[in-house]
Amino acid sequence: MLEGKVAIVTGASRGIGAAIAKKLSKNGATVIVNYCGSAEAAKKVEEEIIDCGGEAVAVKCDVSNYEECKNFIDGIYKEYGQIDILVNNAGVTRDGLLMGMSEEDFDTVINTNLKGVFNCMRFVSRYMIKKKKGSIVNISSVSGVIGNPGQANYSASKAGVIGITKSAAKELAPRSIRVNAVAPGFVESDMTDKLSDEVKEKAKKVISLGRFGKAEEIASVVSFLAGDESSYLTGQVLKVDGGM
């Protein structure tokens, strides 16, 4: 399905990003496993993909850093001569109530989750335009759609991801580049492990399927959006939340 395509997955050392990288590889893509702090974990994802017969390479880049993103993406294009798929998955949380939230916690979340998406799309789109094809999938969150107490910074960043997705979809459609977003609900990962048992139980009560999602259940939707099976879909936000 994705044979011959080169895919960048940001924040692919762990959690949802690692599952996306593995799924895209399983479907035939060569995968760039981006990471920032977890070098060992990213190397493991790379090795796992190679052991299964796929092609992957782990590459460090802090997505919140504009210059680093430029060098990262230029380097990938120089090496492979094409970038067909970009999955902007890297994300962080710094939860806290609005009136006590530090400027640093606000900036860190916006710079990683929103500016990081801008940085990568900014540089990848140049190369996709050259080839007149490409698919970009941005990972938002239901928190960006409906809001969540204690997540003013995170909700703002994820709502921003929806905005940038819709604008970029309109801007890039004439060049046959599609841009979509996935908004997961609660998914089992390091990010949700941090939540208290009380918050987890409360969350399950508003999920129709009565459980948290698995990273692989997000990855299969991302793979669908990344590939040609979704060729008439652009500017969309797919909520993958077990029916919240």
Report if residue 121 touches ligand NAP, rule: CB under 6 A: no
Catalytic residue flag (residue 154): yes
Binding residues for ligand NAP restricted to 142-201, rule: CB under 6 A: 184, 186-187, 189-192
Measured CA to CA, the distance from residue 225 to residue 165 in angstroms comes to: 13
CB of 93 to ligand NAP, least distance (A): 7
Chain-centroid distance of CA 145 in Å reads: 16
Query: Residues 141, 184: contact at Cβ < 8 Å?
Result: yes
Measured CA to CA, the distance from residue 127 to residue 134 in angstroms comes to: 9
Contacts of 3 (CB under 8 A, 6+ apart): 28, 29
Measured CA to CA, the distance from residue 239 to residue 221 in angstroms comes to: 10
CB of 205 to ligand NAP, least distance (A): 16
Binding mask 81-110 for ligand NAP (x = CB under 6 A): --------xxxx------------------
Residue 40: Cβ within 10 Å count: 9
Binding residues for ligand NAP restricted to 206-235, rule: CB under 6 A: none
CB of 5 to ligand NAP, least distance (A): 21
CB of 232 to ligand NAP, least distance (A): 25
Binding residues for ligand NAP restricted to 1-60, rule: CB under 6 A: 10-11, 13-17, 34-38
Please tell me what DSSP assigns to residue 216. Answer: H
Specify the residue, 129 or 159, whose C-beta has the smaller distance to ligand NAP. 159
Query: Residues 9, 46: contact at Cβ < 8 Å?
Result: no
Q: Enumerate the active-site residues.
A: 154
Residues in contact with ligand NAP by CB under 6 A are 10-11, 13-17, 34-38, 62-64, 89-92, 112, 139, 141, 184, 186-187, 189-192
